Structure 1
Amino acid sequence: MALVALAACVAILVLWKARAHEARAEAAFPPEGQFLTVDGNRVHAVVMGPRDGSVPDLVLIHGASGNTRDMTFDLAPRLARNYRVIVLDRPGLGYTARLNRSGATITEQADLLQRAAAELGAERPIVLGHSYGGAVALAWAVTRPDRIAALVMVAGAAKPWDTGLSAYYRVLSHPVLGPLAIPFLTAFVRDERVEQAVGEIFAPQEPPEGYLEHIGAGLTLRRHSLRANALQRANLLGEIEALHRRYDEISVPTEIVHGRADTTVGLTIHSEPLSRQIAGANLTTLDGIGHMPHHSAPEEVIAAIRRAAVRAGLRRAD
């Protein structure tokens, strides 16, 4: 009985601290944009730039563990001078609700985000995806080819790989261990640990000044976000294995940007074979750049978007 009482006290403490951490994170980093309802699902969207139809529509899709703030730190405001930029939280992350309890597939995510963009009047936008978001962008291009004008991949996950899933994601995606472990992480892991991990993803570069304070690390540590992200990451390889043979169906202008120093999503595994599979795809490789080219080499990413827009007939060539 004493052990049961102790366990109950621990559970109450953990849940209380987890809720408190989530409340602090959401108070410090509230939604940046507006909410749409797509088939009963809440989607968070940030819209920047002219809304009079004078510029092309551009959708930005963030990577694993991220949210709109990765794109709104610097890239989206700069792009908003020449595009109507729509930044969308993927399901379960940021302020977009989870689609299901099993982890939304890249195809399900692409469907939801495409319909959210259409709700905002972007029927055939340019679509940019970074890292995991690149896989979602590819799914969009393959499964909804009439709803995309051009594709831009930035260090995107595209092809099957042979390394195993990390212990972290194995535990957090496990049907029993995940729900048990996640509340402890939310309760006791400090935001600074997430910021450190984010900083490591930039290697060999450093995060730009002010980035870590902007992204809202505490949002990543919320229980539903940890679970959604873990399930999505655990399922990603199988989903890419099922989809990657269809990339040659992509016929829209495609620009690919990838750093040669990227150790998170390897250039030779993903972007190089992808560039050969999509007819007319243009691959830009960046010497010495790691996994975050949209922050470490933003001019190269902006140039790739411009090329995609010109090739799609949405902008004039200089």
Structure 2
Amino acid sequence: MDWPRDLTGWPLAEQSSRIACRPHRWHVQQMGDGPVILLIHGAGGATHSWRDVMPLLAKQARVIALDLPGQGFTQAGTRARSGMMQTAEDIAALCAQEGWQPTAIVGHSAGAAVALRLSQIVLSPRGQAPDVVGINPALDKFDGIAGWLFPVLAKALALNPLTPLLFTLGGASDRRTRQLIERTGSTLTDEGYRLYSRLMGDRGHVGGTLQMMASWQLDALIADLPGITARCLFLAGETDSAVPVKVAQRAGASIPGAVVETLPDLGHLAHEEAPDLVAGRILSFVNSGQSDSVSRNA
């Protein structure tokens, strides 16, 4: 599928717009009024991941969700800016262009790493680092052989222009999609599986995801964790087999004042399994920060 991709049947498509901000053409969804909460999906995801969370947050905030470069409906302008730092810089440029000042940045999985780096670049309306909420934050390096093999493999796959086509020949069956997601410890609705199947059957999206994986480097961010000034909340799904709870606990222990909460009986896609619970925790955390700010300035 070539860009611009067809949004027919996509969750909250009526809230979608495409915004050009060099070097990318972003797909963005916006709804609600109030303090800005920016949502960043994980690798291989898209705005659909927030389909049930966004309306709940929008009752108290202006919520903005975007697709990462090359994924979902965002057209990447270059393959050279797929790394975590470059992605954060490009989102910061988009925020500056559009006048967005996030009070909070919510990131899922790899999106949490982008959120933390972004919190070091942009300022909230209070003139401080925005709050960061990480849902099953992928903030750890691979251990053992995967530490060197996985990045090399991802890079080789991403650099081969035929790879995305091979991944998507015949499309992605709902059964295969269901199996892949359930291996992460999550169980979704039929609609959830269908949406991920649609993404997995799109060679452009697959190519963008592989390019992101090939460019991913966390060493500098992990070294910087003790210097993070943002208020941080990490929500870790108890049954997540993709990013174990210990990853959030280890990262949280390195960030001053970070809070880590375990979500019982939820997996890697906890925000899709229990949107009411996750949205409630996000709003409670963000509102507590605003109350603290008012008290300090009174």
One fold, TM greater than 0.5? Answer: yes
TM-fit CA distance, 1:48: 1.0
Matches of 2:229 and 2:191 in 1, distance apart?
39
Contact 1:171/1:178, CA 8 A, preserved across alignment: no
Distance 1:288 1:218, change over 3 A: closer
TM-fit CA distance, 1:183: 1.7
Is structure 2 residue 246 aligned with structure 1 residue 246?
no
TM-fit CA distance, 1:276: 1.1
Contact 1:260/1:287, CA 8 A, preserved across alignment: yes
TM-fit CA distance, 1:167: 8.6
Out of 27, 38, 42, the position equivalent to 1:44 is 27
User: Which residue number in structure 2 is paired with residue 59 of structure 1?
Assistant: 38
Out of 268, 274, 278, the position equivalent to 2:251 is 274
Give the alignment of 1:259-270 within 5 angstroms: 259-268=237-246, 270=247
Distance 1:148 1:209, change over 3 A: farther
RMSD: 3.0
User: Which residue number in structure 2 is paired with residue 180 of structure 1?
Assistant: 162
TM-fit CA distance, 1:140: 1.0
User: Deviation per CA, 1:232-266, whole angstroms, max 9, x where unpaired?
Assistant: 12332xx1112211012211211110012211012
Out of 262, 280, 290, the position equivalent to 2:267 is 290
Q: 5+ residue gaps in structure 2?
A: none
User: Deviation per CA, 1:145-179, whole angstroms, max 9, x where unpaired?
Assistant: 66742100000111223051799986563168732
Matches of 1:56 and 1:314 in 2, distance apart?
13
Contact 1:172/1:181, CA 8 A, preserved across alignment: no
Matches of 2:184 and 2:241 in 1, distance apart?
10
Matches of 1:27 and 1:84 in 2, distance apart?
22
Out of 205, 208, 233, the position equivalent to 1:225 is 205
Out of 100, 109, 116, the position equivalent to 1:122 is 100
Contact 1:66/1:220, CA 8 A, preserved across alignment: no
SS in 2 for 1:283: strand
Is structure 2 residue 171 aligned with structure 1 residue 189?
yes
Give the AA of the match of 2:136.
A
Give the alignment of 1:9-158 within 5 angstroms: 26=6, 28-29=8-9, 32=13, 33-50=16-33, 55-72=34-51, 74-102=52-80, 104-144=82-122, 148-158=129-139
What percentage of residue pairs aligned between the two structures are identical? 23
TM-fit CA distance, 1:121: 3.1
Give the AA of the match of 1:43.
W
Contact 1:172/1:227, CA 8 A, preserved across alignment: no
Is structure 2 residue 182 aligned with structure 1 residue 200?
yes
TM-fit CA distance, 1:191: 4.1
Give the AA of the match of 1:155.
N
Q: TM-score, normalised by structure 2?
A: 0.83
Matches of 2:47 and 2:135 in 1, distance apart?
16
Distance 1:103 1:186, change over 3 A: farther
Give the AA of the match of 1:295.
E
TM-fit CA distance, 1:296: 2.5
Give the AA of the match of 1:273.
R
SS in 2 for 1:280: coil
SS in 1 for 2:100: coil
Matches of 1:153 and 1:183 in 2, distance apart?
32
User: Which residue number in structure 2 is paired with residue 256 of structure 1?
Assistant: 234
Q: TM-score, normalised by structure 1?
A: 0.78
Give the AA of the match of 1:59.
L
Give the AA of the match of 1:261.
T
Matches of 1:166 and 1:59 in 2, distance apart?
32
TM-fit CA distance, 1:96: 1.0
User: Which residue number in structure 2 is paired with residue 15 of structure 1?
Assistant: none
Distance 1:82 1:242, change over 3 A: same
Matches of 1:263 and 1:306 in 2, distance apart?
26
Matches of 1:90 and 1:82 in 2, distance apart?
25
Matches of 1:36 and 1:99 in 2, distance apart?
12
SS in 2 for 1:304: helix
User: Deviation per CA, 1:254-312, whole angstroms, max 9, x where unpaired?
Assistant: 111001221101211x2111111111111111233211121223343223312331243
Contact 2:46/2:72, CA 8 A, preserved across alignment: yes
